[in-house]
Amino acid sequence: MSNKGIIAHIFDLKAEYHNIKDMIDVDPDNAQGINFQPMYYPDLLRIRKDLSCLSSDLAKETSSYFRKWKKIKAQRETQKYLKQSELMKEGVKVTQAEAQAKQFSCNLLEEEAVNEGLYKTGDLILKQVNEILSSVKQDISVIRKEYESINDIQ
């Protein structure tokens, strides 16, 4: 699945979770006193499983962008310093050599910026997914405890 597909699926699951959360919070008990929270238990388990898998996939993609970003940055810096030293050996003044070397290596700047942006976006979404997963796990725990207490009473 592509990075865009992973992120789209994550946001779909987030919306589904918030819909379930709203239903649980608004009317946990109906007029007859029946608790509907256990009804959402399988959905919450599925959302947790799917989010965990997608989080892992996104983490792999994000780490790939991080490696690309750092590799391109290192290539650009190396290219710049090699060009600068080459120009200085030819007798060009230091400041002029530095400026020309920066200009020479700027072709990698765009690619570096794109990969840095992709990495930072992925990292931010991973943090959001972890917060959602934490909330889902808490809801599962609460529902499980309520379900067990209902079974103990009966």
30-56 pLDDT, tens per residue? 444 445 567 788 999 999 999 999 999
Q: CATH no. for residue 71? A: 1.10.287
Query: What pLDDT score does 26 carry?
Result: 53
Measured CA to CA, the distance from residue 143 to residue 71 in angstroms comes to 47
CA distances from 49 to 29, 116, 134 (A): 27, 29, 12
Domain that holds residue 49: 3-153
> From first to last of its 154 residues, what are the pLDDT tens digits of the chain?
677 889 999 999 999 999 988 877 655 454 444 455 677 889 999 999 999 999 999 999 999 999 999 999 999 999 999 988 998 899 989 889 888 888 888 888 999 999 999 999 999 999 999 999 999 999 888 888 877 776 666 5
Query: What pLDDT score does 32 carry?
Result: 46
CA distances from 77 to 49, 91, 98, 112, 137 (A): 42, 21, 12, 11, 45
Beta partners for residue 29, in sequence order: 35
- Say how many domains are in the chain: 1
Token pair recorded at residue 146: 């309520």
